Structure 1
């Protein structure tokens, strides 16, 4: 990452960390790291399909932090399941990096974590209930919904089937439906939004909303 000129972020212990994904835009020479910053850059540079509609970027940045605070108290058992999907070398690296902020031990059977996770999604459901549509901004899809969907996708990928089924009925099936609707948006935007790329990373799960022109020179760097 240093070799391509990427800028590091700081961990809680003050050491450097180089986040992925990284977007290299040959049209402008920009090299952008971190999913939220990539989304912000693309919104400003290629605004055909807004993901921060109605000048909402600052509010959605606050939503990102608020959503993180809902999930992080229950994340230990998700981390434990995540390591099970990785190769031994990758799992060792993942544990070393993530345990800086979320101390070990991680236990995939924490009943307390399940209760905290459900409580967090009950709060998120209250937020969604304050709108008239299926998205956080009513009928308008935004990066806030992408944040929620990406987290759900992470859970679906790493949890065992009987565990994902446990989440599915929460809040009347709201979260499985939201994920399905977000995937539908992604498929539509592959053909309907030239030059628009939304690149998301939540831990090691990548959800890309990639336009047909990605081959024209954009590069997504992932390690």
Structure 2
């Protein structure tokens, strides 16, 4: 059984979007797994203890360890496979367990570019609100650690409506791109036209983050934007939101 490492919270279900990307894939591919909960202060020591590679490297050369991470026992080999970084994990799961594809033939490069956009540009306007709200959902010990290391202020800005308007501009832009799939080329909801793929899970993981952390202020409005498109995408992925 695959082990997925995730962050505990004080809401009924986890919220971290990068980790939800992998959980959605595991559920979509119907792979048996269990979740191992790791608080923020223990992430680096835990990942080092299982010989997980660092997620990235700081400018001074020091490694950065972050979640998600997985351990796949791989019965056919003597050593388990241990990975971090959501994109690396997604590609590994696709290559190792190709049933129910998330990277249709010829789409890997385009999807990688799309997911980069979601991670680096699409979510940026949300951070001033979502990071402080996410911090509030952490256990007390993790909150203390997060406050000491967060590069983003942890007080929700007073100009909340201005932040949501900036976020809506990104949602509008992405909706305009996805509208190109409407009609004969696709249903206009999913990125590749008809079937769910990794790109959809990258977007839906952001929607889940908002739905779990800001259900009334954020999700209540976003699910209505762009003619209800984001609510429809969330519903398409809902069957893969189980937590084991």
Matches of 1:117 and 1:12, distance apart in 2: 28
Q: Is contact 1:83-1:91 (8 Å) kept?
A: yes
Instruction: Name the SS of the counterpart of 1:51 in structure 2.
Output: coil
Counterparts in 2 of 1:140-219, with a 5 A limit?
140-184=195-239, 186=240
Matches of 2:164 and 2:148, distance apart in 1: 24
Q: Which runs of 5+ in 2 are unaligned?
A: 1-46
TM-score normalised per structure 2: 0.69
Work out whether 1:34 is the aligned partner of 2:85: yes
Q: Which runs of 5+ in 1 are unaligned?
A: 187-206, 211-223
Measured after TM superposition, the shift of residue 144 of structure 1 is 0.2
Q: Is contact 2:128-2:157 (8 Å) kept?
A: yes
Equivalent in the alignment of 2:110: 59
Q: 1:127 aligns with which of 162, 177, 182?
A: 177
* CA separation of 1:97 and 1:63: change in aligned 2, threshold 3 A: farther
Equivalent in the alignment of 1:10: 56
Measured after TM superposition, the shift of residue 151 of structure 1 is 0.6
Q: Is contact 2:68-2:85 (8 Å) kept?
A: yes
Matches of 1:46 and 1:10, distance apart in 2: 25
Q: Is contact 2:54-2:63 (8 Å) kept?
A: yes
* CA separation of 1:118 and 1:42: change in aligned 2, threshold 3 A: same
Equivalent in the alignment of 1:221: none
Q: 1:79 aligns with which of 131, 149, 171?
A: 131
* CA separation of 1:183 and 1:123: change in aligned 2, threshold 3 A: same
Matches of 2:126 and 2:134, distance apart in 1: 13
* Per-residue CA distance 1:95-145 (angstroms, 9 max, x = gap): 33332xxx3254254332111111110111112101122211111210000
Q: Is contact 1:149-1:179 (8 Å) kept?
A: yes
When the two chains are superposed, the root-mean-square deviation of aligned CA atoms in Å is 2.1
Matches of 1:209 and 1:48, distance apart in 2: 21
Q: 2:167 aligns with which of 98, 103, 117?
A: 117
